A and B are shown apart, each in its own frame.
Chain A
Amino acid sequence: MEERNLIEAIRALHDGQIRLMEVCGTHTVSISRSGIRGILPKGLELLSGPGCPVCVTPQEEIKQAMDLAREKDTLLLTFGDLMRVPTKHGSFETLKAEGADIRVIFSPFDAIRIAEENPGKKVVFFSVGFETTAPAVAATIVEAKKRGLKNLFFLSAHKLIPPALRALLEGRRVLIDGFILPGHVSVIIGKEPYEFIPQEFGIPCVITGFETHDILEGILMLLKQIREKRAEVQIQYKRAVRPEGNPRARTLMEEVFAERDSRWRGLGLIPLSGFGLRENFKEMDARVAFDLEEPEPIPDPPNCKCAEVLQGLLKPPECPLFGKGCTPQRPVGPCMVSSEGSCAAYYRYGDFHAG
């Protein structure tokens, strides 16, 4: 009932051509699964943004981790979503099949146990993720230091959402009338880091939850701001998100990580958009311990349009490979691999609406 009322209200309030971007991959999945796109009024479009950590991790960062995994006595740990991402040089999965010791972990804390159980190995955790995940990794790094673990290293490919949104807006390639902002990133960082979006770009923002009624309500709140010619950061997902975020998590993140320039698939090099380990934790920083240099960029496969999909310039079905050369079983690009990639979400739920 409630959802039907929300849809009715959205229809009543919508006017003209409006493009909203859902930044987060979990939103993309939720939208595709619920079929929201198909019931929105004509002219109200939802675009997927760069909010799938696996999808925006460039090939060269994955290759760097694969090179480490090839070294003798190394045990590489990573999140499951990364295993099948294809690069020009294979994937973690193919490398594991060749005999490399690569293991999937569910929680960063597992890395501590595995390092303790394998004292003869150099255990490297290749960690990706946005602000949602970084505090858990930070807590793990602090604990590893406390325990004096000498064989656990972290290769951080963590990335940050607000600088990516700034890069997207400054690029001016895609026109966006409102942002459905990620709920769980915002649980950590709160609303302040997004204030530049309404202030500098005049674009309304709503931090939104993941249930169908949350997303519909987020859309309704955006339409209301647009109609009233207001632009501010509002929180729809109030049961989880406080305006100040999670101060304890933010302090830990700040203690362990320093911002660094980072390359994003689709968006290129974005200043201060990633996290590396601070000087105080350098003995656990894989970049220091293994003397790693910045990897050379690897170009995307021919015809793969992940870069455009990640910027909201193309919808997944508009890619020439979608469902033909590229499927979840045989993915070409990362957006079809990750369970939260927009191509995989569109494909799995048959969500081919033009919007």
Chain B
Amino acid sequence: MCLGIPGKVLSIKDDVAEVDFGGVRRHVSLLLCPEVKVGDYVLVHVGFAITKLEEEEAQETLRLLEEYLGREEFD
């Protein structure tokens, strides 16, 4: 039930955004995320944006992996 679906904000009118979920467009309330702007990616739960998504921090994962796979003691 805690499912969150990511989508891209296409337009905003008052507290409601039109959000694109991979081709399907839905209206989403921005009452919980008033700072969201057109072009942002948001995570949507039961019709409400609950957070703005940041760029995937892929660097972080790579760093973790290097740390483990690079160390001889774990090989």
Contacts and interface: CB of A to CB of B under 8 A. Distances in A.
Interface of A: 2, 5-6, 8-9, 12-13, 24-26, 51-54, 79, 81, 106-110, 128-130, 132-133, 135-136, 139, 143, 182-185, 187-188, 213, 217, 220-221, 224, 238-242, 246, 248-249, 252, 338, 340
A238 B57 contact: yes
Contact of A108 (B47, B61, B69): B47
Contact of B65 (A5, A238, A249): A5
Nearest to B6: A240
Interface in B33-47: 33-34, 43, 45-47
A133 B74 contact: no
B47 A106 contact: yes
* Prevailing SS type, chain B contact patch: loop
Closest 3 CB pairs between A and B?
A: A107-B47, A12-B74, A9-B68
Contacts of B33: 246, 248
Nearest to B52: A240
A184 B75 contact: no
B48 A107 contact: yes
Contacts of B2: 24-26, 51, 53, 129-130, 132-133, 182-185, 340
A139 B56 CA distance: 29
B64 interface: yes
Contacts of B48: 107, 109, 135-136, 139
Interface in B14-73: 29, 31-34, 43, 45-48, 50-51, 53-57, 60-61, 64-65, 68-69
B49 to A, nearest CB: 10
Contacts of A26: 1-3
